[in-house]
């Protein structure tokens, strides 16, 4: 049956890929025609003038650097496609004006004008056809299964392909097929004259005579398809309009143009294919082939993970919402309304029991495994990598000379910042819940829209939380979770029961967990204050007084590592937390762990006569967010009067410093959305400098050093003019200086901030002025050589009208009738389309008028058109440069000045270097700590066949609980995970000798 289905099923799913087939045919034809020309003839036609080829090099270099980020797979298809068409448009519009193409015998103007004419004609013709076809479908003359409307983009793409095919034919054959037929035998001269007659019959000789074969194709294969007498009704009525002449029109040609026949053939094939498919509905109703079905199934069987958050996007609605939410949170929720106070008030209403804050169901275990991670919910690949590791039934590792088997934790602790960039329902569902649900599926009765009213919600005959044997999860909020006042966190964490296969018994944003062997975990909610509130302090202090024993050990879990943040900013935050640790716990705090910084670092106290309030300070924010540097914090060594030593850092200090180099090389590739901001900034800086009318001293100097000196002296004059006379550019420079000053962290003095900001803005100003001069010099050179500004805005259309009658005769006046039938719309569309396409001509004509008569001679509309045409090119030139300058600034600041640690690494959006920490409370009461890391995060996933093969049962009982595994088994996290830190914390009352391992 499958064999029959394969035979009778069309190879391609509907709609057929007309454009792809035509593009392949056109590309093959172009390669054939180009390769058939003698290379020595092509080289002889090259222009030896170095200035034109230098302009070619500059143009192509700038356009390449602009389009280079769009060659990767991380760019959204819509923006990538727009950029390709945009680059093709303005690149061709600039190249065809340069003289080197004309010296090589390529008439770019004819090809471009012909392309635009055929393009408009094809669009109008196909739109009329589709309207008529839909009308026939509406009245029932076409199968109703074919009622799907055509895609406008598909029509435009097909018209482009048809136009390119006609232009390729004209460029290589033209009207030679009509005017004359070249003899097949031609004499050879030049480089290949050494071939003898008897050798010309060999295969290589035939290949060298390919140009003769091309002429034969142009004169025979693309010859006129016939004459008007062969198609009496069609040709006289449609082609020549003789019916309107009431008979034969005088001087009418009896030959059908080969370009028209080629265009009509493509249009006819498109219409025939479309009508057959849509009228029968066969392609829509027929099943896919087995091969295409498997491809579609494979595409669907991939996780729909989101990419890393683009923090430097100038067009992201999420980031604007994040900024707005942050402003509202700072002004409303800090000191005015605090959700933690509301939770405390609700506890008093509910009989003031501690069941909603204290959980002791783990306390009777003999030993226990639990995990800690933080700062997840950024990129889907990185978040799922960590979630896949913590979901595994066990992880097998090799450490030194032993093999370790680390079982899955009974408890998962997440230290805040659950989703980026803001705590919306979309980011929580797509960036946080989805990776964990893929890693460990929720139970069958789970409903996404369910609201947990009475926690814990247990099923399957389990009456108490102590009896549940599956993994559980407790979460504290981070600063990003507080941007909306903790509303989304309360709805998704406190009022839901499942994070994938992890049960969430938690009811409030802070909690206390009593673990075996006298171990405790205090999950603190610091909100946006970087500290706990009074009611939270009251709960934990009473808990310490009433239930925490003298020999118990406490783990403090917060979102922010106050010890590192305070050291970096030279500040003092978290006073209530410090007071709780120092005055209430009094040495029983063995570990303080936090996230917020997206790296791993551990500092352990240096033994001394003074007692240590906290033995180990641990930061692990590698749960899925972008990477943070470690070398910036390498000098930290003291907290609360106790000395500490750095025991582990991931990535290492050296690797962290080397990673920062990516800001110079990869800033724009990672942050292509920054183009919108950078291009506008540079255009504002150079706005008042356009146009530069006095460039004689640069163009007339003979020596290269003279050109260089004149160029930079002109740039200096432009800078002085900007400071003394311009309004828009000087205001933009001043605003940029203020923004650069406020952008620098306030940890250094205002004098150093001012100096750094002046150097930063000066680099941008110099780059903008140099780019402005390069653009102006290029336009000036083309104007002086009569390549631009020769007649007016409609130069291309006027030239096309002058040669139209010679190449495309119209003896019956068909074009005049089309103009009358369309009320002048058809020629007007072509005229203004050609003018809109020819941006360099519009820019040059307006520039010439300004230089002759002054800016006052322009109307407001003409001024807008001029600056818009300048912006189209200046934006392409400036965006790679502004990213390079800004990326270099971040690199210098992060590596030399240790500034902008957040900004310099969020720009890189590094998904690699992910880690989590696994704890083991042993039977002797000691706490063994393992930090497991993955250096490289996979980007391609497939359904795990072992997961599919397992029988249906609760996910936490499966040996292979995760749905997706890496396409390459060698890149799967289970194969690449390794231990980056391992140590032991002694129970309170035991000696600390040999604690670190």
Convert the pLDDT of each residue in 97-141 to its tens digit: 776 655 555 667 777 888 888 888 888 888 888 888 777 777 766
Q: Taking CA 109 as the corner, what is the angle to CA 103 and CA 112, rounded to the nearest 5 degrees?
A: 130
Token output for 121: 């004609």
Angle 208-210-211 from CA coordinates, rounded to 5°: 110
Interatomic CA distance for residues 997 and 995, integer angstroms:
6
Are the C-beta atoms of 932 and 980 separated by less than 8 Å?
A: yes
Out of 304-313, 470-479, 656-665, 820-829, least confident range: 820-829
> Residue 452: what pLDDT?
86
C-alpha to C-alpha distance for 800 and 820, rounded to whole angstroms: 20
Say whether pLDDT at 180 is over 50: no
Closest CA to 302 of 872, 943, 869, 861: 943
pLDDT of residue 149: 62
Contact, 668 vs 883, CB < 8 A? yes
CA-based nearest residue to 440, from 476, 464, 414, 412: 412
Residues 239-251 have a mean pLDDT of 42
In three-state form (DSSP H/G/I as H, E/B as E, the rest C), the secondary structure along 790-801 is CCCCCHHHHHHH
Is residue 366 helix, strand or coil? coil
Pairing between β-strand 511-514 and β-strand 358-359 as defined by DSSP bridges: parallel
Q: Which distant-in-sequence residues (6+ apart) come within 8 Å of 968 by Cβ?
A: 938, 940
What average pLDDT does range 605-623 have in this prediction? 91
Structural contact between residues 892 and 918, judged by C-beta atoms closer than 8 angstroms: no
pLDDT of residue 704: 66
pLDDT at 36: 47
CA pair distance 994, 826, nearest whole angstrom:
88
The HSE-up count of residue 544 (CA atoms within 13 Å, CB side) is 23
Q: What is the pLDDT of residue 439?
A: 95
Q: For residue range 335-358, what is the model confidence (pLDDT) as tens digits?
A: 555 655 556 555 554 444 446 899
What is the pLDDT confidence band of residue 236, given thresholds at 50, 70 and 90? very low
Q: What is the pLDDT of residue 438?
A: 95
pLDDT confidence bin for 609, thresholds 50/70/90: confident
* Distance (Å, whole) CA 759 – CA 752: 11
With b meaning 16 or more CB within 10 Å and e meaning fewer, what string describes 137-165? Answer: beeeebeeebeeebeeeebbbbbbbbbbb
Per DSSP, 931 falls in state E
CB 667 within 8 A of CB 675: no
> Which pLDDT does position 923 carry in this prediction?
93
DSSP code string of 838-852 = -HHHHHHHHHHHHHH
Q: What is the pLDDT of residue 982?
A: 95
202 CB neighbour count, 10 Å cutoff:
11
Amino acid 339: pLDDT:
59
User: Is pLDDT of 196 > 60?
Assistant: no
Going by pLDDT thresholds of 50, 70 and 90, the confidence category of residue 761 is very high
What confidence tens digit (pLDDT) does each residue in 564-593 have? 999 999 989 999 999 999 999 988 999 999
Structure tokens at 359: 């959980």
Q: How far apart are CA 347 and CA 356, in angstroms?
A: 8
- Selection from 313, 307, 309 nearest residue 674 by Cα: 313
Distance CA 211, CA 80 (A): 38
Assess whether pLDDT exceeds 50 at residue 181.
Answer: no
- What DSSP designation does 48 have? -
Residue 370 has pLDDT above 90, yes or no: yes
- Report the pLDDT value the prediction gives residue 997, as an integer from 0 to 100: 42
Q: What are phi and psi of 942, to 5 degrees?
A: -140, 165
Highest mean pLDDT among 219-233, 295-309, 385-399: 385-399
Separation CA 399–CA 403 (nearest Å): 6
Q: What average pLDDT does this structure show over 614-630?
A: 95
Share of the chain above pLDDT 70, in %: 74
Q: How far apart are CA 958 and CA 952, in angstroms?
A: 9
Token duo for residue 160: 């482009």
Residue 87 near residue 61 (C-beta atoms within 8 A): no
Mean pLDDT within 535-560: 94
Max mean pLDDT range (242-251, 399-408, 955-964): 955-964
**C-alpha to C-alpha distance for 480 and 649, rounded to whole angstroms:** 25
pLDDT at position 1 = 37
For residue 130, report the phi and psi dihedrals to the nearest 5 degrees.
-65, -35
Identify the residue whose tokens are 């219409």: 271
- How many helices (H) and strands (E) in the chain? 39, 21
Report the pLDDT averaged over residues 939-962: 90
Say if CB 449 and CB 433 are below 8 A apart: no
Q: Supply the DSSP string of 203-253, one letter for each residue.
A: HHHHHHTHHHHHHHHHHHTTS---BGGGSHHHIIIIIS-TTTTTSPPTT--
Calculate mean pLDDT across residues 461-477.
90
Contact (CB, 8 A) for 905 and 660: yes
Which tokens belong to 731?
């205001």
The sheet that has 600-605: what strands, in order across it?
358-359, 511-514, 519-523, 553-558, 589-594, 614-620, 600-605, 642-650, 638-639
Cβ 982 vs Cβ 399: under 8 Å: yes
Strand ranges, E, within 56-120? none
Kindly give the pairing relationship between strand 964-966 and strand 941-943.
antiparallel
Q: Comparing C-alpha atoms, which of 62, 7, 191, 178 is closest to residue 770?
A: 62
Asked if pLDDT for residue 603 goes beyond 90, the answer is yes
Question: What backbone torsions phi and psi does residue 836 show, to the nearest 5 degrees?
Answer: -70, -35
**178 in Cβ contact with 255 (< 8 Å):** yes
pLDDT at 960: 93
Whole-angstrom Cα distance, residue 823 to residue 119? 19
Cα–Cα nearest to 500, from 587, 582, 593, 383:
383
Q: In which element (H, E) is residue 369 found?
A: strand 368-373
CA distance 402 to 247: 100
Residue range 555-563: mean pLDDT, rounded: 96
Smallest CA-to-CA distance from 259 within 244, 279, 239 is with: 239
**Per-residue pLDDT tens digits for 540-550:** 999 999 999 99
What pLDDT score does 985 carry?
94
Average pLDDT across the chain, whole number = 80
Reported as a single tens digit per residue, the pLDDT across 657-666 is: 999 999 998 8
pLDDT at residue 234 tops 50: no
CA angle (261 as vertex; 255, 267 as ends), nearest 5: 150
**Is the model more confident about 960 or about 989?**
960
Q: What is the DSSP string of 370-392?
A: EEEE----S-HHHHHHHHHHHHS
Q: What is the 3-state secondary structure (H, E, C) of 461-514?
A: CCCCHHHCCCCEEEECCCCHHHCCCCHHHHHHHHCCCEECCEECCCCCCCEEEE
> Strand, helix or coil at 147?
coil
Q: What is the mean pLDDT of residues 955-969?
A: 92
Among the residue ranges 147-156, 608-617, 733-742, 848-857, the one predicted with the least confidence is 147-156
Q: How far apart are CA 189 and CA 495, in angstroms?
A: 86
Q: What is the number of alpha carbons within 13 Å of residue 509 lying toward its C-beta?
A: 33
- CA torsion sign for 461, 463, 467, 468 is positive
Q: Which two tokens stand for residue 450?
A: 């369910």
Instruction: Work out the percent of the chain whose per-residue pLDDT is above 90.
Output: 42
Q: Which of 116, 122, 118 is nearest to 269 (CA)?
A: 122
In this prediction, residues 947-960 reach a mean pLDDT of: 89
Q: What is the per-residue pLDDT for 302? A: 81
Domains and CATH numbers, the chain: 18-43+110-176+206-225+256-278 (no CATH), 329-351+362-651+913-985 (3.60.21.10), 688-805+815-905 (no CATH)
Chain-centre distance for alpha carbon 382: 16
Q: Is the pLDDT of residue 243 over 80?
A: no
pLDDT tier at 28, thresholds 50, 70, 90:
low
**The predicted structure's pLDDT at residue 701:** 61
**Model confidence at 147: pLDDT above 60:** no
- Of the candidates 970, 920, 961, the one whose C-alpha atom is nearest the C-alpha of residue 384 is 961
Nearest to 32 by CA among 181, 218, 211: 211
The predicted structure's pLDDT at residue 12: 37
**Residue 680: pLDDT band with limits 50, 70, 90:** very high
Residue range 692-706: average pLDDT? Answer: 74
Strands (E), 541-641: 553-558, 589-594, 600-605, 614-620, 638-639
Q: Which of 155-159, 237-241, 656-660, 716-720 has the lowest mean pLDDT?
A: 237-241
In which band, very low, low, confident or very high, does the pLDDT at 539 lie, cut at 50, 70 and 90? very high
Let me know if 627 is exposed, middle or buried by CB neighbors in 10 A (0-12, 13-18, 19+). Answer: buried
**pLDDT over 70 (residue 560):** yes
CA–CA dist 307, 382 (Å, integer) = 9
pTM of the model: 0.81
Picking from 410, 594, 432, the residue whose alpha carbon sits closest to that of residue 502 is: 410
Is a pLDDT exceeding 50 seen at residue 182? no
Nearest to 890 by CA among 663, 626, 658, 681: 663
């Amino acid at each position: 049956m499958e064999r029959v289905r394969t035979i009778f099923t069309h190879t391609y799913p509907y709609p057929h890929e007309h454009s792809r087939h035509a593009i392949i045919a056109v590309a093959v034809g172009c390669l054939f025609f180009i390769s058939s020309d003698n290379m020595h003839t092509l080289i002889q036609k090259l222009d030896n003038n170095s200035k034109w080829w230098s302009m070619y090099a500059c143009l192509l270099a700038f356009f390449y650097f602009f389009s280079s980020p769009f060659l990767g797979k991380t760019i959204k298809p819509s923006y990538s496609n727009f950029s390709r068409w945009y680059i093709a448009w303005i690149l061709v519009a600039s190249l065809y004006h340069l003289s080197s193409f004309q010296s090589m015998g390529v008439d770019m103007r004819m090809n471009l004008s012909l392309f635009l004419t055929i393009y408009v004609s094809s669009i109008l013709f196909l739109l009329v056809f589709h309207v008529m076809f839909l009308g026939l479908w509406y009245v029932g003359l076409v199968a109703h299964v074919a009622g799907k409307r055509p895609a406008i983009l598909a029509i435009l793409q097909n018209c482009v392909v048809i136009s390119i095919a006609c232009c390729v034919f004209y460029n290589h054959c033209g009207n030679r097929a009509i005017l004359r037929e070249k003899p097949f035998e031609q004499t050879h001269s030049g480089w290949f004259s050494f071939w003898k007659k008897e050798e010309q019959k060999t295969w290589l000789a035939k290949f060298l005579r390919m140009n003769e074969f091309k002429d034969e194709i142009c004169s025979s294969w693309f010859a006129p398809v016939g004459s008007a007498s062969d198609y009496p009704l069609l040709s006289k009525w449609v082609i020549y309009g003789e019916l309107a002449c009431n008979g034969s029109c005088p001087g009418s040609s009896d030959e059908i143009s080969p370009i028209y026949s080629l265009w009509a053939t493509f249009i006819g094939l498109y219409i025939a294919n479309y009508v057959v498919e849509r009228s029968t509905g066969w392609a829509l109703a027929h099943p896919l082939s087995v091969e295409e079905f498997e491809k579609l199934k494979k595409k669907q069987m991939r996780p729909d993970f989101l990419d890393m958050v683009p923090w430097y996007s100038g067009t992201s609605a999420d980031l604007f919402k994040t900024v707005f939410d942050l402003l509202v949170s700072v002004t409303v929720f800090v000191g005015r309304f605090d959700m933690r106070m509301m939770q405390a008030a609700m506890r008093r209403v509910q009989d003031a029991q501690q069941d909603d804050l204290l959980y002791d169901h783990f306390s009777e275990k003999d030993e226990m495994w639990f995990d800690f991670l933080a700062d997840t919910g950024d990129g889907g690949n990185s978040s799922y990598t960590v979630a896949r590791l913590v979901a595994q039934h066990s992880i097998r590792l090799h450490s030194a000379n032993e093999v370790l088997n680390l079982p899955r934790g009974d408890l998962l602790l997440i230290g805040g910042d659950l989703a980026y960039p803001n705590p919306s329902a979309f980011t929580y569902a797509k960036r946080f819940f989805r990776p964990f649900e893929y890693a460990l599926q929720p139970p069958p009765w789970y409903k996404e829209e369910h609201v947990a009213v009475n926690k814990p919600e247990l099923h399957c005959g389990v009456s108490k939380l102590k009896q549940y044997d599956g993994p559980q999860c407790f979460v504290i909020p981070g600063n990003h979770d507080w941007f909306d006042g903790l509303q989304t966190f309360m709805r998704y964490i406190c009022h839901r029961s499942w994070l994938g296969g992890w049960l969430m018994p938690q009811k409030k944003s802070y909690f206390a967990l009593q673990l075996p062997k006298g171990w405790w975990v205090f999950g603190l909610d610091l909100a946006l204050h970087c500290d706990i509130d009074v009611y939270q302090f009251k709960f934990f202090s009473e808990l310490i007084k009433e239930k925490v024993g003298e020999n118990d050990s406490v783990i403090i879990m917060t979102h922010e590592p106050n010890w590192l943040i305070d050291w970096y900013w030279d500040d003092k935050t978290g006073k209530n937390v410090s007071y709780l640790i120092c005055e209430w716990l009094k040495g029983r705090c063995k570990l303080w762990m936090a996230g917020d910084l997206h790296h791993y670092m551990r500092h352990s106290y240096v033994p001394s006569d003074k007692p240590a309030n906290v033995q180990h300070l641990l930061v692990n924010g590698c749960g899925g967010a972008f990477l943070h540097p470690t070398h910036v914090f390498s000098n930290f060594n003291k907290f609360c009067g106790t000395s500490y030593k750095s025991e582990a850092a991931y990535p290492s200090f050296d690797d962290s410093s080397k990673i920062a180099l990516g800001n110079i090389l990869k800033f724009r590739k990672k942050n292509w959305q920054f183009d919108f901001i950078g291009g506008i900034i540079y255009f504002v800086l150079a706005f008042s400098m356009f146009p530069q009318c006095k460039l004689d001293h640069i163009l007339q100097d003979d020596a290269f050093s003279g050109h260089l000196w004149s160029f930079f002296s002109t740039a200096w004059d432009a800078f002085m003019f900007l400071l003394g006379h311009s309004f828009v550019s000087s205001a933009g420079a001043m605003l940029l200086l203020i923004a650069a000053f406020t952008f620098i962290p306030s940890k250094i003095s205002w004098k150093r901030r001012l100096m750094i900001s002046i150097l930063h803005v000066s680099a941008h100003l110099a780059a903008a002025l140099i780019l402005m001069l390069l653009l102006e010099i290029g336009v000036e050179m083309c104007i002086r050589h009569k390549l631009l500004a020769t007649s007016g805005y409609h130069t291309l259309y006027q030239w096309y009208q002058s040669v139209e009658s010679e190449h495309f005769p119209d003896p019956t006046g068909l074009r005049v009738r089309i103009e009358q039938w369309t009320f002048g719309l058809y020629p007007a569309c072509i005229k203004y389309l050609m003018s809109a396409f020819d941006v360099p001509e519009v820019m040059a004509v307006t520039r010439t008028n300004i230089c002759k008569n002054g800016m006052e001679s322009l109307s407001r509309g003409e001024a807008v058109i001029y600056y818009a045409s300048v912006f189209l090119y200046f934006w392409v030139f400036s965006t790679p440069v502004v990213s390079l300058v800004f990326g270099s600034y971040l690199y210098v600041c992060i590596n030399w000045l240790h500034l902008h640690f957040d900004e310099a690494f969020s720009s890189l959006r590094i998904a690699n270097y992910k880690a989590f920490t696994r704890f083991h409370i042993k039977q002797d009461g000691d706490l063994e700590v393992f930090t497991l890391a993955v250096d490289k995060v996979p980007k391609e996933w497939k359904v795990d066949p072992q997961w599919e093969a397992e029988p249906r049962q609760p996910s936490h009982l499966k040996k292979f609980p995760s749905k997706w595994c890496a396409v390459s088994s060698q890149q799967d996290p289970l194969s690449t995970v390794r231990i980056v830190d391992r140590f032991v914390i002694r129970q309170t009352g035991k000696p600390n000798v040999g604690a670190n391992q």
